[in-house]
Amino acid sequence: MYNLIISELKRRQEPINVCIVGCGWVGRGVVRQLLSSKHFSIKAIITKTIEKAICAYHENGIKDEAISVTEDYSKINKYIVSTNIELIKEMKGIDVVYECTGNVLAGATAALSSFAAGLPFVTMSSELDATIGLRLACLANEKGVIYTNSDGDQPGVLARMLNEISFQGFTPIIAGCCKEFLDIYQTPEGVKKFIPSNVDSIKACSYTDGSKQSLELTVLGNAFGLHALKRGLHGPKALKSEIIDNFDKIVGLDHLENGYVDYTLGSTEKKQGGPVFIIAFNKDKIINENMKWLKKGDGPYYLFFRDHHLGFVEAPASIAEAVLLKSATISPKGKYLDTIALAKRKLEKGKRLDVIGGYDYYGLVENSAIAVSENLLPIGLAEFSTLIRDVNKDQPITYRDVDLDKNLVTRLRQEQDALSSEKDII
C-alpha cells in the first residue's frame, strides 16, 4: 500500500491541498506532519480557537502576512484560519478534509460540508464514527466520495493488520488493543495529577475510564463485522506472551465461530506506544509446521502484534489514500457494535448530561442488536440529553431515561437506526 501511495505522490505534479478541522493536540500534530512533506499543503485550518491555528502555522515557519483569518473564503490569502465549518462548501482548490475535533456535532457538520463540496472526508474521531459513521458513509457513497477513519489511531492500525493477515490466509478471531490501566469511575479532576498541564483533562479522562477505547473498538467492529463476547468485553490481564493462552482459558478459542473485539489489561512491555493485537488461526498442518519453524509458535492460533500506534504521525497515509487511490483506510459497513452510556454516579432527574470523559457516564461496548432491543443510549448522544428520571450508578442509560435534543447528530442517528441491522449495508 505504501509503495503505491509513494508512487502516486511522486507522479502528482502538485501537493495535496488539505483543510484541517480541529487544532488540538492531534490537529497541530497533523499540521506539523503534513507541512514537513513537499507532497502536502494545508490551505485552511478551521477551529474554535483561532490562536491555536495561528500558533500551528507559526510553529512551521509560516509568517503572519501569509495567514488570513476570515469567515469569507473570497478573502483567501495563502493560509486560511476560520471558525466557520460551513466555509468548506465554498473552498476551491481543496482536495480533502481532515477532521480531528473529537466533537460529534462539529465532526458531523464538517462531514456534510465536505460531501456537499464533493471532497473526501478523513476523521480521527472515533466519537463521530462510532455514533453516526455508518450514516455518514452511506451519504458519502451517495455523493461518490470517500468517508474514512484515519490511520494512526487504533481502528486504522488494526484495519491494516486485519487486511494484511486475512490476505495471507489467516482467519482473525479476536482483535483489540492493550490498555495499561482502566478506571471507569475516573473524573477530569482525578486525572490532572497524571497528565501534563497542556493536555485536556476531559480527553485524558475518556482514555482512562475506557470510553475512548470502547468507541475505537466499536469503529473497528462496524467496519469488519466483529462482535462482543459480552458487554464491556473481557479485558484479561496479560503480558504479550500470555495473550493467546489467557483468552483461550476465558472463552475457549476453539468455540469461537465469528470475529470479536476485546482488549488486554496491564502493561505488555515497558515503554511501548499503545500496542494492538490480533489472534488469528490457520489450521493447515503444513502451514502450521512452517509457522513453527518461523518461530510463530505451534499454532493453529497465532498472535499478530504491533507495539505502537502513532496517531497524527501516521495520518498522512490515509489522507493520500483517500485522494490518490479513492480508497478508505477503514469505513463502517454495517451495524454490529455500539458504545453505550452507563452512569458513573447516581444521576438525578433534570440533570443535563455532560460530555464523554466527564463526570456523569462511561462507555462500554455492546452488540448492536442488544443495544437496540434494550433501547440503550449511545454514548455519543449523551451530551445532547437531559434526564427525565433518576439513573443509578452503573445503570445503563436508555432512551426512555432522557429528553433528547433535536439537532444534526440526533437526526443522523435516527436515520442510521432506521437502516437494516446485523449485515453489511455498504
From the CA atom positions of the chain, what is the Rg in Å? 22
Residue 232, helix vs strand vs coil: coil
At 76 the pLDDT is 59
Cα-Cα end-to-end distance for the chain: 23
pLDDT at residue 271 tops 80: no
H or E element that contains 404: strand 402-404
- Reported as a single tens digit per residue, the pLDDT across 136-172 is 999 999 999 999 999 999 999 999 999 999 999 999 9
Residue 315 CB partners (closer than 8 Å, separation 6+): 29, 30, 33, 98, 122, 124, 150, 151, 152
What is the average per-residue pLDDT within 69-85? Answer: 81
For residues 366-376, average pLDDT: 97
3-state SS class at 324: helix
C-alpha cell at 365: 461496548
pLDDT of residue 396: 98
CA distances to 101, 112, 192, 204, 343 from 209, rounded to whole Å, are 19, 30, 14, 9, 12
Residue 77 binned pLDDT confidence (cut-offs 50, 70, 90): low
pLDDT at 127 over 60: yes
For 320, the grid coordinates are 493520500
Q: What secondary structure letter does DSSP report for 389? A: S
Q: Is the pLDDT of residue 54 over 90?
A: yes
**Sign of CA pseudo-dihedral 233, 236, 239, 240:** negative
222: pLDDT strictly greater than 90: yes
One-letter amino acid identity for 357?
G
Residue 255, C-alpha cell as written in the block: 468455540
Q: Which residue has 505504501 as its cell numbers?
A: 2
DSSP for 356-378, please give it. Answer: TTSSSEEEEEEEHHHHHHTTBPB
Asked if residue 268 has pLDDT above 60, the reply is no
pLDDT of residue 92: 84
Residue 199: is its pLDDT beyond 90?
no
Share of the chain above pLDDT 70, in %: 96
Question: Which residue segments constitute the domains of the chain, with CATH numbers given?
Answer: 2-124 (3.40.50.720), 154-309 (no CATH), 337-417 (3.90.1210)
The yes-or-no verdict on residue 129 having pLDDT over 60 is: yes
pTM of the model: 0.96
Q: What local confidence, expressed as pLDDT, does residue 346 receive?
A: 98
- If we measure between CA atoms, which residue out of 209, 153, 191, 264 comes closest to residue 394? 209
Question: How many other C-beta atoms can be found within 10 angstroms of the C-beta atom of residue 202?
Answer: 17
> What is the total residue count of the chain?
426
> In Å, what is the CA distance from 171 to each residue of 116, 283, 302?
39, 10, 10
Q: Does residue 382 register a pLDDT over 70?
A: yes
- Axis crossing angle, helix 104-116 with helix 126-143, rounded to the nearest 10: 20
* 21 has a pLDDT exceeding 90: yes
Mean pLDDT for 218-241 is 96
C-alpha span between 217 and 89 (Å, rounded): 31
Select from 90, 113, 92 the least CA-distant residue to 21.
113
Residue type, 406: K
pLDDT band at 5 (very low <50, low <70, confident <90, very high): very high
Beta strand pairing call for 79-82 and 385-387: unpaired
Residue 285: Cβ within 10 Å count: 10
Mean pLDDT of the chain: 94
Which residues, in sequence order, are bridge partners of residue 306?
276
**Residue 74: is its pLDDT beyond 90?**
no
pLDDT in tens, 94-110: 999 999 999 999 999 99
| pLDDT at residue 75, as a whole number | 58
